[in-house]
Amino acid sequence: MPAPRIIRMAMLGFLASAMLATSTFAEPQQGEQIVLSSTEHHAPGAGAQGFSALDTEKIRETEEKYVFETEVSKIMKIIINSLYKNRDIFLRELISNASDALDKIRFMSLTDSASMSTNSNLNISITADPVARTLTITDSGVGMTRQQLKDNLGTIAKSGTSEFLSKMEESKKDDVSLIGQFGVGFYSVFLVADRVTVASKSNDDPAQHVWVSDAVNDFTIAEDPRGNTLGRGSQITLHLKEDAVEFLEPSNVESLISKYSEFINFPIFLWKGHNETIISEKSETLESNDDVEEEEIDSEKTEPEELTEEVWEWSQINTQKPIWTRSPKDITEEEYVEFYKTFTKSNDGDPIAWSHFKGEGDVDFRSIMYIPPRPDANFYQSLASATNNVKLFIKRVFITDDVAGDFFPRWLSFLKAIVDAEDLPLNVSRETLQQHKTLKMISKRLVKKALDMFAQLAKNDEKKYSEFISHYGVALKYGAIESQSHRKKVASLLRFRSSQNAQDAVVGLDHYIERMKPDQKHIFYASGMTIEEIEQSPFLERLVADGYEVLYFVDPIDEMLMQNMPGYDGKSFSNIAKGDIKIGDDSDEAKAEHKELEETFKPLQNWLKSTLSEYIDKVTISKRLATSPMAIVTPEFGLTGHMEKLLAAQGMNAAQKEDALYKFMASQKKTLEVNPKHPIIKALLDQVESGEPDEDITQLVTVLYETTSIRSGFQVKDLRGFTQRIEEVVGKGVGAEVAKAPTLKKEEEEEEEEEPIVPEDLFVGGHDEL
């Protein structure tokens, strides 16, 4: 090996030994490195973390032994024996405690700048020593005096163990999430360790002390024989159990830090290694020879050699800053987008919009909520299921993501949000969250802010709002159905297609009302499976010709929406396919003219009612037809053709078939409206007035009724008879004889007819939860 290489390795070995033997803890610095061989110990600051045999002997000479109070011992047994499955929370608890200690010293420094002189750096560092099987967490926080070590880690006075045990007994189960709520999070270390050493130095104590326990019945406290290695702060060394060696792997530790503590205010450093490849020069002669002339050595050819070395360094894990703690005016749009992608771990695109705000007053919290670029897969199919789109932090410590349903109603569960609360106890349980008054107040604020965010988007960016509606418009309709308290606000956010803009859903109810005719009392709408189906409907003819705007409802949920939202801003909704529509001239002269038409066409009305008695209840002169001869209108409380199609696609049980409201609506016979200005209707009137129409006329009217039924949105009941009647009419037209279509009796028709099916809660009014 060339001399430079030998010297370099010797220096690295010396540096490693120096770091391992040092008796003073060195503050970690990002990128600080050491290159080690595979046989060398890679944990830095070992002298600060471990004790020599002499140190141990001195501790035994000066230590004082204390017995855990009864409640603390119970805590130990619960943790060790019952909470194994969730044991990775120990790291969250230790980091949270370290963060609290750092917050305290930083607060103290505001009034006493000298308090920081003992250690000016504020951070948390974590190292693993696989040889000693230890994991060490060090902070430069406020530290603890000897008495505080005793009080905080061994007695009931400060730990809150009594309250913890009481809650455990109340819940009748071992709920690990309660750890920490009462200040007992430290004891979670015994989930993974069979022995724990805590070294701590406070500004209020001249000496550094050591607390040691094996989680049995007692603990000891002694003055640290190594002296003040910390300057200020605490260092917790976990002697891990044999089944917990997974926590010695830096990648596992890093994963837990990212999961639970990514947004802690202070930097968290992890001592971790990686391999680096270097290129050196390799001599063809591996051994020096005193007999070889110096000139010959110099002339020897060398060739490059690739070597892999293990490099260990301090790496900051929580590099993603908690931007929700910053002022929105100081955050760029790019930062918000980047944070969204980091927070959601998604690369599907930029969020449509976001809202960043701080809740103050009765409850203090910060939040950022985002509208994703598109819904999650199967979002609308899984609205009844819980989602994990909200991450709850308490003072920047991640608690859970199983709270979306507690913060947002399900119709808003597409939102992705972070909530950082100040007024919730750390590690509240799932049951406690649901009952906590603070959470309910936060939920109200979040829903209000979400609706405000949608309204601002609609006002400031029509293009983005149109994109939002295309993805989440149906969710808002669910909201208008389910939430009575937010119905008006949500309704104002809805957008529809209409006869004035059939291509895009951009027409809001406020826009519609602004364009209404002076004499118009209703908001007209038409329902159908597609825009094309609606635009072919005969019900549109007169309305559009007279300049009325009609909203187009093509989402299946729209029919349910109309049942739960009968009006908006003083205007009622009117289905143009139902009931007696009020349009046009309403003067006495117009009424008289219409009455005259009724008298003129009365013979035809009577004959049509008799001929089609199996299908219709009455025949009237239409006010809504312009070019079609007739249309089939549903009574106000009947089922339209579109509704029948929707019901036919649903499941139905015996109880639903007997639902009184459904049976009432399904039994309503239709009304046949005729257009008195249409030549076919005029010709039929002449036929009736000249005598009893023959069988051919009756057959033609039956075909006309069936084709009208299709145009009106209904399905033909007697499809076989309909096709044969069409064939017969065509046959006569071309001079061919076709067998007459059999006339079905009403009972036979009912046997062949598929009864519409209704979902269980279709006719039930809205409520606040889906």
Task: Provide CB contacts within 8 A for 34, sequence distance 6+.
Answer: 12, 15, 16, 19, 42, 44, 311, 312, 313
CA-closest candidate to residue 353, choices 253, 263, 245, 468? 468
Which ranges in 32-69 belong to alpha helices (H)?
46-49, 53-62
Name 573's bridge partners.
Answer: 523
| Residue 183 counted as an annotated binding residue | yes
- Using CA atoms, how far apart are residues 579 and 624, in angstroms rounded to an integer? 11
| Residue 276 counted as an annotated binding residue | no
| Residue 533 counted as an annotated binding residue | no
| Residue 144 counted as an annotated binding residue | yes
CA-closest candidate to residue 558, choices 468, 495, 486, 638? 495
Q: How far is CA 315 from the centre of its chain?
A: 31
Give DSSP secondary structure letters for 631-694. EEEB-TTS--HHHHHHHHTS---HHHHT-HHHHHHHTPPEEEEE-TTSHHHHHHHHHHHHS---
| Residue 163 counted as an annotated binding residue | no
| Residue 93 counted as an annotated binding residue | yes
| Residue 190 counted as an annotated binding residue | no
- Using CA atoms, how far apart are residues 708 and 539, in angstroms rounded to an integer? 11
**527 with 639: CB under 8 angstroms?**
no
Which ranges in 462-581 belong to alpha helices (H)?
462-482, 487-493, 509-514, 531-535, 540-545, 557-564
| Residue 139 counted as an annotated binding residue | yes
| Residue 487 counted as an annotated binding residue | no
Give DSSP secondary structure letters for 725-767. HHHHHHHHHHT---PPPPPPPHHHHHHHSPPP---TTTTSPP-
**226 with 207: CB under 8 angstroms?**
no
| Residue 686 counted as an annotated binding residue | no
Tokens of 251: 């990648």
| Residue 76 counted as an annotated binding residue | no
Tokens of 125: 């560092």
Q: How far is CA 559 from CA 504, 531, 637, 714, in A?
A: 20, 15, 13, 16
3-state secondary structure of 198: strand
Residues in the chain: 770
| Residue 182 counted as an annotated binding residue | yes
| Residue 159 counted as an annotated binding residue | yes
Task: Provide CB contacts within 8 A for 290, sequence distance 6+.
Answer: none
Known binding-site residue numbers: 93, 97, 139, 144, 152, 158-160, 181-186, 430
Known binding-site residue numbers for ATP: 93, 97, 139, 144, 152, 158-160, 181-186, 430
